[in-house]
Structure 1
Amino acid sequence: MRDEITVIGGGTAGLVAAIACAEAGARVTLHEAHATLGGRARATAAPHVAHEGPHVFYADGPHWSWLADRGLTGRLCRPPVRDALRFSFVRGGRLTPRPPAGLVRMMAAGLFREAPVEEDFHTWATRHFGEPAARAAANAIAVVTYDADTGRLSAAFVWRLFRRVFAPRPPAVRWVAGGWQAVIGRLEIRARQLGVRVEPSSRITELPGHPTIVATELSAARALLGDESLRWESGHCVLLDLAVTTDPAARGAAVKGSAAKSLGIKGLGTKGLRLKNPAPRSPRDRFIAFDLDTGGFHESYSMQDPSTAPPGESLFQLDMPVRAGESTAQARRRLEALADLTVPGWRERVTWQRGGTARGRTGALDLPGTTWRDRPAVERGDGVFLAGDMVAAPGMRGEISINSALRAAAGAVRAAKGRGRAVSA
């Protein structure tokens, strides 16, 4: 009989782990508590395809090579030149195409300078580049941390993220057609082709007696394993998805959607509007905007991938980190102020919108004195392994899920083979 492995969780980490185990010859069963697979990589149903937070890939790591080698990335998208040029920064409450000089110096320094693990980013960056540049850089990279005080995190952690996003080199960012939901679909097909038994609507409350990969959120893994040490720092932000047209007169009647319920995000609501004669997008709408004042971020879905919105509409996502002591309503007002800049007149042009809150589920953040190696270990002992975006594996956000899943799969396969030899002996 083939070595048996159980995977708990059907998000990106769980699917990657299941595939890697099956490719190694193991018999794999994947359990997912929800009716559909995908975890935080799920998207809303067409015609407006929106994710829980920005979802892009960076093609400069092993996670991407693993996906690309198996043809799982699918078709790639890129924005037309006219849209890509709508790249902006918010400074002093206004849009500008140019970052401040101090931030430019930091971008150039990213090619060769290193930062310490023990010191916080704001202190280190202030000493080398000045306080305004340090503050602007922390806010610029908040799109990755979802944290309103990114400067408090480890200098090495933040600087590594900043270099990935802003260092002057050929851009590594990749948009896949149909978003991450399309990648999830391909992962599921690949898993089933390899013989993985996929069990949706299957909630596991006890571990089986063979090697198991727990690919859930850290809070769920903590409850399942009864291990209070399974904790790590994460972010807190509010989200806003907007679909707009340039012709307010073309707006139709509101139709309630169900995307919030299907994604299961706390505080999420939706409403949709149908267009009869949609108009082209406004040339004033921004493609990408980094808010250097408050840490907000704005990005278009549809400029690079028109399939994410109906013809004649543009789809955007904005996020804003919630400050300490601030209510979500206050953060949402700051987020809407950002939308006023990047999607002018959106309130009169909106055709569909969705708001949400993400807290404690936005990927790992490393405080001063810690690195990814200090996060909850992948191998837990007794044939149990962790995978997800807050465990001990390198990368940022979803990359951590893939990299940890591959490590967990390798360990689970070794454990299964060792157990099989012990039983036969």
Structure 2
Amino acid sequence: MTASASHRTHGTTPARDRVTVVGGGLAGLTAAVAAAEAGAPVTLYEAHHTLGGRARISDGPYRVHEGPHVFYTGPMWSWLKRRGLIGPTGRVPFADATRLRFLQGGELRRTPPRGLLRLARIPAGGAPVDETYTEWATRTAGPAAAAATANFMGVALFHHDPGSLSAAFVHRRFRRVTGMPPGVRYPLGGFGQVLELMAARARDLGVRIETSARVDELPADRGPVIVATSLAAARGLLGDDSLRWSGGRTVLLDLAVRRDRRDPFVVSDLDRPGWVERFSAVSPLIAPRGESLYQAQFPVGPDEGKAEGLARAERVLGVALPGWRARETWRRTALAQDRSGAVDPPGTTWRDRPAVDRGDGVFLAGDQVAADGLLGEVAFGSGLTAAPLAVGALGAQRRDRGAGARAALDLKFG
């Protein structure tokens, strides 16, 4: 590892007797907390000057980060909640819950197409792995329902063509986001609030966290390492070109406007994948008083750029938010590549993605690793899988060194 002498030891504990975590986002912090809870000494290195990855929250008065501000109930939610790592949460006010709109044929509708509702009644395991979602959904509910439902799933997949992905992959996630009762939960401070609590928990457990500490290489004399970075960064660090998987490419628009009671809470574009949501409806403190803070996400194809995604977003806003341009007070834009989880092509599942265990005491965690889940749950799940493997490898290395030392003594004095 390259940075400073402090990277070779943690206090009086050599690096070979510790679990090292590279990356301080959701995957890295999950792995660090889980390994420390198992009793291992842990050091975490983050190249940025603050922790968080894509959940890193911006400074006020507009509090935003890359990607959604929500959780879905499930293993990740339960694990965090048991440890008190979520903080205060909110629910959508009833008046706003009724302001969900669907854009179809260029017009806003209050109800989704019947075919979408029909597909939502099919059990999560009812779609095949080896067909595209469009093929299966068309056969099941017709082409119009298949197209609308695939586009609706832009909210959870950040992909420009969800219909081209595995039917099983898309449908399981469709069932998660449309489940009744709704399984969505809103941390009032977004994911940034959760990351701060996770970092505090890690430090309480004795994890040493070093920021502005880029790791450029892995030394020979080291303990287990959990690489909790993007696959692109992991490829460079580990020199392993096989660390590749498909993901989404999405234009993100954070937009603040002066509040208007007529504005919708959510707009789902059913003509092409796109989603606009007013997060200040649940967390009013993320924007100044009297303003609404929206986040829009519009996936773009390989031949499209940021300008095309923003143009689509603005067209949707023109239909959904009357007079929004005159009311705009702030905006932030980004083009996010492979920053929102893996997507599985037909014939593949999450088990076909790059494995967590890379051998030789190296483990992988992150958005595109072999772990199941929706959105950030993949990073969480892979971090939680990597931690006990790394702790076990640390114990094995210590036993091997002990056996070697005893053998050397036997040779010397035997």
**2:65 maps to which of 51, 56, 60:** 51
SS of the aligned residue for 2:60 comes to: coil
Report the counterpart of residue 411 of structure 2 in structure 1. Answer: none
Write the distance in 2 (CA, Å) between the matches of 1:190 and 1:112.
35
Report the counterpart of residue 347 of structure 2 in structure 1. Answer: 369
Q: How does 1:117-132 map to 2 (within 5 A)?
A: 117-132=129-144
SS of the aligned residue for 2:345 comes to: coil
Report the counterpart of residue 385 of structure 2 in structure 1. Answer: 407
Matched, 1:107 2:120: yes
**2:216 maps to which of 188, 201, 205:** 205
The structural deviation recorded for 1:140 is: 0.2
Matched, 1:216 2:229: yes
Matched, 1:38 2:55: no
Write the distance in 2 (CA, Å) between the matches of 1:149 and 1:284.
31
| Larger mean Cα displacement after TM superposition, 324-333 or 176-185 | 324-333
Write the distance in 2 (CA, Å) between the matches of 1:205 and 1:403.
25
Contact 1:79 1:305 in 2 (8 A): no
Flag as ranges the 4+ runs of structure 1 deviating above 6 A.
none
**1:418 maps to which of 390, 396, 399:** 396
Report the counterpart of residue 251 of structure 1 in structure 2. Answer: none
Identical columns (%): 54
Report the counterpart of residue 251 of structure 2 in structure 1. Answer: 238
Contact 1:375 1:392 in 2 (8 A): yes
Q: Which residue identity does 1:217 align to in structure 2?
A: S
Contact 2:223 2:394 in 1 (8 A): yes
Q: Which residue identity does 2:384 align to in structure 1?
A: L
**1:9 maps to which of 20, 23, 28:** 23
Report the counterpart of residue 204 of structure 2 in structure 1. Answer: 193
Larger radius of gyration: 2
Q: How does 1:80-95 map to 2 (within 5 A)?
A: 80-95=93-108
Report the counterpart of residue 327 of structure 2 in structure 1. Answer: 349
Report the counterpart of residue 5 of structure 2 in structure 1. Answer: none
Q: How does 1:290-329 map to 2 (within 5 A)?
A: 290-329=268-307
Q: Deviations over 1:220-276 (max 9, x none)?
A: 00100000000000111111111111xxxxxxxxxxxxxxxxxxxxxxxxxxxxxxx
Contact 1:153 1:367 in 2 (8 A): yes
Q: Which residue identity does 2:381 align to in structure 1?
A: N
The structural deviation recorded for 1:389 is: 1.0
The structural deviation recorded for 1:159 is: 0.6
Segments of 5+ residues of structure 1 without an aligned counterpart are 246-280
Write the distance in 1 (CA, Å) between the matches of 2:353 and 2:197.
30
SS of the aligned residue for 1:34 comes to: coil
The structural deviation recorded for 1:148 is: 1.4
The structural deviation recorded for 1:196 is: 0.5
Q: How does 1:374-385 map to 2 (within 5 A)?
A: 374-385=352-363
Contact 2:367 2:378 in 1 (8 A): yes
Report the counterpart of residue 248 of structure 1 in structure 2. Answer: none
Report the counterpart of residue 258 of structure 1 in structure 2. Answer: none
Matched, 1:174 2:172: no
Write the distance in 2 (CA, Å) between the matches of 1:55 and 1:424.
48
Say how many residue pairs are matched: 387
Write the distance in 1 (CA, Å) between the matches of 2:214 and 2:124.
48
Change in Cα spacing, 1:331 to 1:415, as seen in structure 2 (3 Å) is same
TM-score by length of 2: 0.91
Q: Which residue identity does 1:204 align to in structure 2?
A: V
Q: Which residue identity does 2:38 align to in structure 1?
A: A
Write the distance in 2 (CA, Å) between the matches of 1:131 and 1:359.
29
The structural deviation recorded for 1:25 is: 0.7
Report the counterpart of residue 146 of structure 2 in structure 1. Answer: 134
Segments of 5+ residues of structure 2 without an aligned counterpart are 1-12, 404-414
Write the distance in 2 (CA, Å) between the matches of 1:40 and 1:135.
30
Matched, 1:28 2:42: yes
CA root-mean-square deviation: 1.3
The structural deviation recorded for 1:324 is: 4.2
Change in Cα spacing, 1:6 to 1:313, as seen in structure 2 (3 Å) is same
Write the distance in 1 (CA, Å) between the matches of 2:252 and 2:154.
13
SS of the aligned residue for 1:298 comes to: strand
The structural deviation recorded for 1:135 is: 0.4
